Amino acid sequence: MTYCVAMRLQEGLVFASDSRTNAGVDHIATFRKLNVFAQAGERVLVLQSAGNLATTQSVLSLLRQRCQEEKLNLMNVGSLYDAATLVGNTVREVIARDGGQQQSGINFSCNLLLGGQIHGQPHRLFHIYPEGNFIEASDDTPYFQIGESKYGKPIIDRVLAHDTPLDQAMQCALISLDSTLRSNLSVGMPLDVMRYRRDSFDATDQHRISEDDPDFHRLRQAWSHGLLELFAQLPPQKWTHSK
Amino acid sequence: MTYCVAMRLQEGLVFASDSRTNAGVDHIATFRKLNVFAQAGERVLVLQSAGNLATTQSVLSLLRQRCQEEKLNLMNVGSLYDAATLVGNTVREVIARDGGQQQSGINFSCNLLLGGQIHGQPHRLFHIYPEGNFIEASDDTPYFQIGESKYGKPIIDRVLAHDTPLDQAMQCALISLDSTLRSNLSVGMPLDVMRYRRDSFDATDQHRISEDDPDFHRLRQAWSHGLLELFAQLPPQKWTHSK
């Protein structure tokens, strides 16, 4: 499995992904799931992927290759909406190519998050389904998750709103990843994260957070200790001491 | 869906269940998922259920009915292990009866948690699978969840150990339910909870927590406010203010 989260906020976009892939517990590997298509000053597109690794890698390879070969590609489409359509079509193409051949019982599907901005237009975020169709984040629902999304959802639901500052939103994404890392073995370090500030058209604010990253370690410790402290101070239920 | 959690601790057992069932979003109802078979001073058995409601109701009805009709039943089996076997057999029986008739695509399966104590024996906790086989909680893994388990798992993983006091374990179960209630519509109030103190053979420490329960409301508020406060104080990532 995998866990990726992306947020579309007033100030810009936040992306965070783990890097573990697995085909059974004895076939675990590390692959980057956060991919950037950017031209400084003009466009920044970020793609995160979850699902069948052969499918997501093919989709990414085709999208990259076609930036050279095809007339219409991610580096020149006129809008984020058109970019999502292009990605969706490529997902359909790969799943039709690979998925229809054998009755193998393999799940060839994948989910993708596409966020970014093209000059002169607002920043946008899409969730692209295995069927190639997609939905867009709104002020009411400013984030999407793909992969092992449930463990890390409660903290986002509590903390995140459309006007959450970019740095706080990134902390929220990291805490959400921390909860998922602790409870699910199929999600693993290192993490790939990126912030995109609206209208910056700058894709350089990317980081890879490794297992021994002191800041992330400090964050996890502070969260863990704080939770235990908070838990110990919770008001008792009246019936708690009835027996 | 449903969410039930049960814990087997040094001091005894903790059970907590929501009460929502749904067959699609337009068919939502309230059913109790925490069921007690008890004879004061001799045995306390608690069954929690998740899955196909027709299946779980039939399993419970048959188990109750057979306490009158059959020689070997939950009120006289010699051990918790034998009780789990009996429940597992009943699950197999009902699924074989109801599930094999039509190619309807319906999932007839269910999961059950069985915890309790029989006089002269230790208190034990089992997770019974749809296939009728089961696993037992241990000091290393003192809890089981069934239903929508992922949202509420991180807090249990952080807080719970075999030697956690009974009252604290109940608070943990309630927080776990709170996280699940917030993030998943298929889990809903009221909650049914029960504590069983080891060697008490007393099944009376049960409570139904309704939507307007002031203590539970206070607990949720304190947790929510505390989390937001804790979140606001987290140490920043060094690269957080690099841009």
Confidence at residue A105, expressed as pLDDT on a 0 to 100 scale:
80
Token pair, residue A22, equals 């697995």
The mean per-residue pLDDT over the stretch A75-99 comes to 96
Q: What is the pLDDT of residue A241?
A: 47
- Residue A237 is given by DSSP the state P
Q: Return the residue in A153, A234, A242 with the most chain B beta carbons within 10 A, the one to mutate for interface testing.
A: A234
Q: Is residue A238 part of a domain?
A: no
Mutate to test the interface with A, among B14, B210, B230, B233 (most CBs of A within 10 A): B230
A-chain residue closest to B178, CA distance: A154
> Is B107 strand, coil or helix?
coil
Given a cut of 90, is residue A21 above it in pLDDT? no
In this structure, of A31-40, A81-90, B74-83, B183-192, the range with the lowest mean pLDDT score is B183-192
Contact between A182 and B241 using a beta-carbon 8 Å cutoff: no
* Contact call for B215 and A235, based on CB within 8 A: yes
Within 8 A by CB and 6+ apart from B165, the residues are B9, B11
CATH no. for residue B212? 3.60.20.10
Contact A219, B237 (CB under 8 A): yes
> Is the ipTM here above 0.95?
no
Q: Which residues of A touch B234 (CB under 8 A)?
A: 171, 175, 219, 222-223, 226
Using one digit for the tens of pLDDT, what is the confidence trace for B217-231?
999 999 999 999 999
Helix (H) or strand (E) holding B64: helix B53-69
Contact B171 A195 (CB under 8 A): no
User: Is a pLDDT exceeding 60 seen at residue A200?
Assistant: yes
Q: The tokens of B136 are what?
A: 């037992």
Q: Residue B190: is the preceding peptide bond cis (ω within 30°)?
A: yes
Indicate yes or no: CB of B222 within 8 angstroms of CB of A242: no
Tell me the DSSP string of B141-179: S-EEEEES-STTHHHHHHH--TT--HHHHHHHHHHHHHH
Instruction: Give me the pLDDT at residue A238, please.
Output: 80
For residue A228, the number of C-alpha atoms closer than 13 Å in the C-beta half-sphere is 11
Tell me, what DSSP letter sits at residue B123?
Answer: -
Which of chain B's residues have a Cβ under 8 Å away from the Cβ of A155? 227, 231
Buried/exposed A52-89: b ≥16 CB within 10 Å, e otherwise: bbebbebbbebbeebeeeeeebbbebeebeebbbbbbe
Out of A219, A231, A238, the one facing B159 most closely (by C-beta) is A231
Picking from B183, B216, B218, the nearest residue to A157 by CB comes out as B183
Domain assignment present for residue B233? The answer is no
* Contact call for residues B97 and B59 (beta carbons, < 8 A): no
Span A65-93, mean pLDDT?
Answer: 96
Q: Is residue A155 part of a domain?
A: yes
pLDDT at A159 over 60: yes
- The answer to the question of residue A239 being in a domain is no
Check residue B89 and give its pLDDT.
Answer: 97
Enter the DSSP assignment of B186. Answer: T
Interface of B with A in 89-148 (CB under 8 A): 148
Query: What local confidence, expressed as pLDDT, does residue A100 receive?
Result: 74
pLDDT of residue B40: 93
Amino acid at B207: H
Question: What total of structural domains would you count in chain B?
Answer: 1
Instruction: Flag whether A224 is in a domain.
Output: yes
CB distance A191 to A20 below 8 Å: no
Residue A242 lies in a domain: no
Task: Tell me the Ramachandran region of residue A213: left when phi exceeds 0, alpha when psi lies from -120 to 50, beta otherwise.
Answer: beta
Instruction: Using the predicted structure, report yes or no on whether residue B243 has a pLDDT greater than 60.
Output: no
Residue A227 located in a structural domain: yes
Which residue from B minimizes the CA distance to A242? B205
Q: What angle do CA B194, B198, B202 make, to 5 degrees?
A: 55
Q: pLDDT digit string (tens) for B80-116?
A: 999 999 999 999 999 999 987 777 788 899 999 999 9
Q: Are B50 and B111 in contact (CB under 8 A)?
A: yes
Structural domain that includes position B151:
3-228
Q: Is residue A240 part of a domain?
A: no
Specify the pLDDT at position A240.
53
- Report yes or no: A31 and A192 within 8 Å, Cβ to Cβ: no
Length of chain B equals 243
Q: What percentage of chain B exceeds 90 in pLDDT?
A: 84
Contact flag A158-B222 (C-beta cutoff 8 Å): no
Inspect the interface and report whether the beta carbons of A237 and B179 lie closer than 8 Å: no
**A window 167-196, beta carbon within 8 A of B:** 167-168, 170-172, 174-175, 179-180, 182-184, 195
Nearest to B237 among A151, A215, A242 (CB): A215
Compute the average pLDDT of residues A138-167.
Answer: 95
Amino acid found at A47: L
From CA B232, how far away is CA A223, in angstroms rounded? 11
Instruction: Tell me which H or E stretch contains B136.
Output: strand B134-136
- With cut-offs at 50, 70 and 90, classify the pLDDT of residue B240: low
Residue B82 pLDDT: 97
Strand partners, B155: none
